[in-house]
């Protein structure tokens, strides 16, 4: 049963990654152009279906995030129930923030519709509002990143305490917590996109290592 639960957690972890990557690569990077509000607006209006699919993908990512945490709670509650509960709380808060923040991401489509109270605004103003809400979304995502970094700290501690997984995976997650929180500090204190990307590399190593271990090995009996 533990091995089945581990692999199911790995599957939802994979789905979380797939939905997240789809939204980033095929949705945001394709439609949103940094510093060019007019081009962004044109991209959104000419690719409305892709925009809506990207929004749904982000919502599914947040849902898979929470389901993964719940499955890992089932897997690790026998190791330390309190630590496992803290993990789920952090993941739940992060999932709620990410889901609520999708409103900022969806706002450009509502704005560019130009109806209701926005009907009196010109195209330049609507385009500027579109870019503004996308920037809000980016900042909101980094706020959610706080809890995405924190939820893997108890997970790392649980792995270290458990005999079912290699301890190196637990160390990876503890390192991820440090770098994840550092990326938030960089974003708000000394904004630098390149530095943020570099800092996130150890996070990707930790997550992909654990995900593939769950999918391939499950856990030790």
Condensed to tens digits (0 to 9), the pLDDT of residues 96-119 reads 999 999 999 999 999 998 777 777
Positive or negative, the Cα torsion across 18, 186, 201, 163?
A: negative
Mean pLDDT over the full length of the chain: 92
pLDDT in tens, 61-75: 999 999 999 999 999
pLDDT confidence bin for 221, thresholds 50/70/90: low
Specify whether the CB–CB gap between 175 and 158 falls below 8 A: no
* Count of residues making up the chain: 221
Please give the pLDDT value at position 178. Answer: 95
- Mean pLDDT over 161-171 rounds to 92
The neighbour count for residue 18, using CB atoms within 10 Å, is 14
Locate 87 and state its tokens.
């993990």
Percentage with pLDDT > 90 across the chain: 81
- Mean pLDDT over 182-208 rounds to 91
The domains of the chain are located at 2-216
Q: Please report, in angstroms and rounded to a whole number, the separation of the first and last CA atoms in the chain.
A: 9
The neighbour count for residue 80, using CB atoms within 10 Å, is 16
Positive or negative, the Cα torsion across 173, 136, 18, 73?
A: positive
- Mean pLDDT over 42-62 rounds to 95
CA atoms within 13 A on the CB side of 68: 27
């Amino acid at each position: 049963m533990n091995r089945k639960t581990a692999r199911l957690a790995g599957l939802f972890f994979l789905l979380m990654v797939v939905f997240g990557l789809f939204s980033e690569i095929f949705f945001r990077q394709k439609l949103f152009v940094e510093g060019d509000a007019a081009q962004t607006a044109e991209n959104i209006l000419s690719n409305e279906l892709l925009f809506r699919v990207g929004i749904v993908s982000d919502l599914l990512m947040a849902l898979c995030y929470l389901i993964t945490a719940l499955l890992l709670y089932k897997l690790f509650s026998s190791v330390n129930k309190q630590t496992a509960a803290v993990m789920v709380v952090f993941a739940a808060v992060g999932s709620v923030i990410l889901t609520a923040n999708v409103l900022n991401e969806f706002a450009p489509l509502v704005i560019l519709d130009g109806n209701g109270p926005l009907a009196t605004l010109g195209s330049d103003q609507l385009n500027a509002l579109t870019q503004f809400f996308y920037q809000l979304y980016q900042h909101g995502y980094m706020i959610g990143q706080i809890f995405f970094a924190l939820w893997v700290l108890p997970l790392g501690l649980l792995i270290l305490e458990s005999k079912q997984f290699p301890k190196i995976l637990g160390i990876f997650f503890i390192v991820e917590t440090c770098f994840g929180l550092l990326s938030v500090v960089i974003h708000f204190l000394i904004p630098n996109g390149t530095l943020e990307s570099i800092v996130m590399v150890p996070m990707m190593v930790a997550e992909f290592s654990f995900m593939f271990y769950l999918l391939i090995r499950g856990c030790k009996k």
